[in-house]
C-alpha cells in the first residue's frame, strides 16, 4: 500500500508541474509559476486583444501564471476599475475579489499634456487614477508643472514627471499609435502632427505642380463657422472635418509654432503675464495683457481691433451662440467680463486661477465685429447655424484674419473652396486656392490620389501600409507619411495588488519588490514585435504614458528593452527563485524518470 501511495504522489507531482514547465512556441522558456494574475482588456480593438494574448505567453517566462484573460465590454470593465462600487472594499481589489490585476487600455491626449487626476494621490475614486498610484514626490512635481507658465521651466517639470512614472511604472506603456497621411509627391510644407490636430500653418503649404491643392477627407461637413467647431482633442477622436478649412480661414491671437509646438503670437504681437500673489509663496491667478499686431487685418480689409477680440470671445462664451468652447472658457474665466478691452490695440484676460498652458485659450477663432454683430442683431443667434453664403448670413460669419478666405461652400457636394486672403500680413501664401472635398469611399479616394485628381488623403481613412505601399508596378506618385496620434496603449497596474503593486506578499515583502516585478513585466514586452505584427508598423515603442508628440515629451528616455535575463534578475530581486526552464524533450522523459525513481525505491525497500 505504501508503494502505491509513493507512486501516486510522484504522478500527481508530475501532472501538476508539467503544464508549468511545458515550453511555449518561443524557446520553451516557461518557469514554475510563483503566483497567478488575471488580465482584463476591452474588446473594442482586435490588435489590443492580440498583444494581450501574446502577454499570456510572455508572463510565464518570469514565473507569473495568467489564470484568466477576460476580453469584455466597457460595461464589465467599468465597475472593476474607475467605477468600482466600494461595497466589499474601500479600494479597488484584485481581479479575484471583484477588481482587476492588469488592465490593457489606451488613452488619447492633447498636445498640451494634462495628467491631472490620472496619477495624483486621492484622485482614484472620482477620476482616472484607477491604478491607485500614490507618490507625494510626484504630487509635488505635478503641482509645479500645473502652475508654471514659463515654457522651459514647465518642460523641465514634465521631464521629472515622466522620470517618476518611468521608474514606478503604475502604467506600463506598450506603444504610441501612429496613422498615415498620403500626400502627392508635389506637395510640401505640411507639418504632419500639427496637420492632424488641425493647427497647421496653411500659408506654408505648397504644390510644385500647381497653385491649387485638393484635400480629400472621408467625413462630411457639419459645422458652418468657428463657434460650433470641436476643440483640438476632439478633432483627434472625432476627426472633425470642419477643422481642416477653419484652420485656414480663422485667425487667432496665438498659434502653435512649427518646431516644438509651443504657442507663439499670430494675430497678437506680444503678451505680458502678470501673476497675482495671494500670499508670499503661491500664485492664485494671472492676468495676460495682449497687444494686437497693428498689421493684422480681416479678409475684408478691416483692421483687427480689441473690440473684435472681445466680441469674438463673448460669442464663444454665449450658450446662445452654440459655441463648443463655452464650457472650457468658463472653467478658467469667471465670465466674459474677464476679457477686458484696454484700448483699441490691447486686451486683458483675467484668469480665475493659474493654468500652465494659458495661451491655448487665446487660440480661438476671431471674427470681425462690425460685420457679424449687425447680422446677429437682425436674425438672432440662430443665424450662426446657417451655412455660409445663405440668404441671411452671406459670408460675413466667416470673415476672419487667417491666410485664406471662403470662396464657396457647397453643402450638397460636401465641398469647400478657399482662396488666398489678400490682406494676410504673415508670410506670403504659396497657394491661390485650396479645395476640401468629402469622399467617404476609401477605395475611390485612393484611386483619385493615384490618378492625380486629389493631392492629399487625410488620416481619417485609416489606411494600413499593406494597402498603400504595394500598388501595381510603377513608381509611387505619392508619399506615405507616418504621423503621431497622441495616443498610447498601456498595461495599467493595480497598485494595491499584493504582488505586482504593494509587493507585500512577495518573499521580500516591500514596495520595491512590487516595483521590481513591474520592471520585469516591462522588460518582457516585445514592443516592436507587437507594432510590426499587430499594427503593421503603425506605432513606435512606448516609454511613459506621456505620448510622443506632446509638448514636453522627454526624448532622452528609452523604452524598456526586451530583455528576458534582466527581467529574471528583477524577479529574483523581489525574492523569487526561478527554476531553470525545462525543454519539452526533458518533460517527455519525466514518466521514465519517475519510473526509475520508483524502481529505486522498490530496490531500497528490498534491502
Which DSSP string corresponds to 83-103?
Answer: T---SS-SS---GGGTS-SEE
Distance of alpha carbon 203 from alpha carbon 401, whole angstroms: 12
Task: Say what the pLDDT of residue 235 is.
Answer: 39
SS3 labels along 544-577: CCCCCCCCCCCCCCCCCCCCHHHHHHHHHHCCCC
Give the pTM: 0.86
Task: Say what the pLDDT of residue 477 is.
Answer: 84
Per-10-residue mean pLDDT of the chain, 607 residues long, equals 45 42 49 90 90 92 93 94 88 95 93 90 73 95 91 95 98 95 93 89 94 92 77 46 88 94 95 79 81 96 96 90 83 92 96 90 94 90 83 80 93 91 92 95 93 92 87 72 92 97 96 98 96 93 94 95 96 89 53 50 49
3-state SS, residue 364:
coil
SS3 labels along 185-220: CCEECCCHHHHHCCCCCHHHCEECCCCEEEEEECCC
Task: State how far Cα 176 lies from the chain centre.
Answer: 8
Report the largest interatomic distance among the alpha carbons of the chain, rounded to a whole angstrom. Answer: 114
Identify which of 555, 554, 553, 551 has the alpha carbon closest to the alpha carbon of residue 262: 551
Decide if 269 contacts 291 (C-beta within 8 A).
yes
Burial of 21 (0-12, 13-18, 19+ CB in 10 A): buried
Q: For residue 199, how many other CB atoms are within 10 A of its CB?
A: 20
Long-range contacts of 369-376 (CB under 8 A, 24+ apart): 369/305, 369/307, 369/308, 369/310, 369/311, 369/312, 370/302, 370/308, 371/298, 371/300, 371/302, 371/396, 371/399, 372/311, 372/315, 372/396, 372/397, 372/399, 373/311
3-state SS, residue 300:
coil
Task: Say what the pLDDT of residue 23 is.
Answer: 40
Identify which of 302, 321, 301, 296 has the alpha carbon closest to the alpha carbon of residue 311: 321
Task: Say what the pLDDT of residue 6 is.
Answer: 46
Question: What is the CA angle 470-474-478, rounded to 5?
Answer: 70
Q: Which residue has the cell 480689441?
A: 306
Burial of 136 (0-12, 13-18, 19+ CB in 10 A): exposed
Decide if 110 contacts 487 (C-beta within 8 A).
no
Decide if 480 contacts 192 (C-beta within 8 A).
no
| Domains within the chain, CATH numbers bracketed | 24-177+484-581 (3.10.105), 186-476 (3.40.190.10)
SS3 labels along 108-177: ECCCCCCCCCCCCCCCCCCCCCCCCCCCHHHHHHHHHHHCCCCHHHHHHHHHHHHHHHHHHCCEEEEEEE
Amino acid at each position: 500500500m505504501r508503494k502505491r501511495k509513493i507512486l501516486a504522489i510522484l504522478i500527481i507531482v508530475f501532472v501538476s508541474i508539467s503544464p508549468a514547465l511545458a515550453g511555449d512556441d518561443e524557446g520553451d522558456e516557461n518557469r514554475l509559476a510563483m503566483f497567478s494574475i488575471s488580465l482584463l482588456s476591452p474588446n473594442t480593438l482586435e490588435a489590443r486583444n492580440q498583444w494581450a494574448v501574446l502577454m499570456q505567453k510572455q508572463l510565464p517566462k518570469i514565473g507569473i501564471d495568467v489564470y484568466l484573460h477576460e476580453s469584455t465590454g466597457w460595461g464589465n470593465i467599468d465597475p472593476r476599475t474607475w467605477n468600482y462600487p466600494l461595497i466589499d472594499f474601500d479600494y479597488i481589489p484584485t481581479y479575484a475579489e471583484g477588481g482587476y490585476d492588469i488592465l490593457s487600455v489606451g488613452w488619447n491626449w492633447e498636445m498640451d499634456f494634462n495628467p491631472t487626476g490620472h496619477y495624483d494621490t486621492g484622485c482614484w475614486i472620482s477620476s482616472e487614477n484607477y491604478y491607485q498610484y500614490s507618490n507625494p514626490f510626484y504630487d509635488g512635481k505635478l503641482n509645479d508643472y500645473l502652475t508654471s507658465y514659463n515654457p522651459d521651466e514647465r518642460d523641465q517639470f514634465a521631464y521629472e514627471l515622466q522620470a517618476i512614472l518611468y521608474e514606478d511604472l503604475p502604467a506600463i506603456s506598450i506603444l504610441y499609435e501612429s496613422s498615415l497621411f498620403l500626400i502627392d509627391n508635389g506637395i510640401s510644407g505640411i507639418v504632419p502632427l500639427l496637420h492632424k490636430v488641425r493647427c497647421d500653418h496653411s500659408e506654408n503649404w505648397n504644390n510644385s505642380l500647381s497653385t491649387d491643392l485638393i484635400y480629400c477627407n472621408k467625413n462630411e461637413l457639419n459645422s458652418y463657422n468657428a463657434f460650433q467647431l470641436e476643440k483640438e482633442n476632439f478633432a483627434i477622436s472625432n476627426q472633425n472635418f470642419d477643422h481642416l478649412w477653419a484652420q485656414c480661414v480663422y485667425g487667432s491671437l496665438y498659434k502653435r509654432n512649427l518646431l516644438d509646438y509651443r504657442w507663439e503670437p499670430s494675430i497678437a504681437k506680444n503678451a505680458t503675464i502678470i501673476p497675482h500673489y495671494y500670499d508670499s509663496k503661491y500664485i492664485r491667478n494671472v492676468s495676460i495683457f495682449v497687444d494686437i499686431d497693428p498689421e493684422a487685418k480681416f479678409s475684408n480689409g478691416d483692421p483687427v481691433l480689441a473690440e473684435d477680440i472681445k466680441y469674438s470671445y463673448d460669442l464663444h462664451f454665449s450658450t446662445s451662440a452654440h459655441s463648443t468652447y463655452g464650457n472650457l472658457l468658463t472653467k478658467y474665466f469667471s465670465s466674459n467680463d474677464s476679457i477686458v478691452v484696454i484700448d483699441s490695440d490691447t486686451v486683458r484676460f483675467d484668469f480665475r486661477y493659474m493654468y500652465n498652458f494659458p495661451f491655448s485659450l487665446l487660440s480661438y477663432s476671431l471674427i470681425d465685429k462690425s460685420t457679424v454683430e449687425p447680422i446677429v442683431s437682425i436674425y438672432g443667434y440662430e443665424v450662426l447655424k446657417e451655412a455660409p453664403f445663405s440668404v441671411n448670413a452671406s459670408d460675413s460669419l466667416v470673415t476672419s484674419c487667417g491666410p485664406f478666405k471662403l470662396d464657396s461652400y457647397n453643402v450638397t457636394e460636401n465641398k469647400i473652396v478657399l482662396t488666398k486672403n489678400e490682406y494676410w500680413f504673415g508670410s506670403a501664401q504659396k497657394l491661390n486656392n485650396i479645395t476640401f472635398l468629402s469622399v467617404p469611399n476609401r477605395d475611390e479616394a485612393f484611386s483619385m490620389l493615384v490618378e492625380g485628381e486629389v493631392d492629399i488623403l487625410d488620416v481619417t481613412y485609416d489606411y494600413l501600409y499593406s494597402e498603400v505601399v504595394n500598388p501595381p508596378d510603377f513608381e509611387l506618385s505619392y508619399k506615405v507619411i507616418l504621423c503621431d496620434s497622441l495616443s498610447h496603449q498601456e498595461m495599467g497596474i493595480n497598485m494595491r495588488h499584493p504582488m505586482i503593486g504593494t509587493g507585500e506578499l512577495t518573499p521580500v515583502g516591500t514596495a520595491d519588490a512590487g516595483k521590481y516585478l513591474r520592471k520585469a513585466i516591462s522588460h518582457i514586452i516585445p514592443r516592436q514585435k507587437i507594432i510590426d505584427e499587430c499594427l503593421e508598423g503603425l506605432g513606435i515603442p512606448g516609454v511613459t504614458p506621456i505620448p510622443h508628440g506632446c509638448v514636453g515629451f522627454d526624448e532622452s528616455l528609452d523604452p524598456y528593452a526586451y530583455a528576458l535575463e534582466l527581467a529574471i534578475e528583477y524577479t529574483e530581486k523581489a525574492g523569487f527563485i526561478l527554476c531553470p526552464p525545462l525543454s519539452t524533450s526533458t518533460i517527455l522523459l519525466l514518466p521514465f524518470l519517475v519510473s526509475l525513481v520508483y524502481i529505486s525505491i522498490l530496490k531500497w525497500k528490498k534491502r
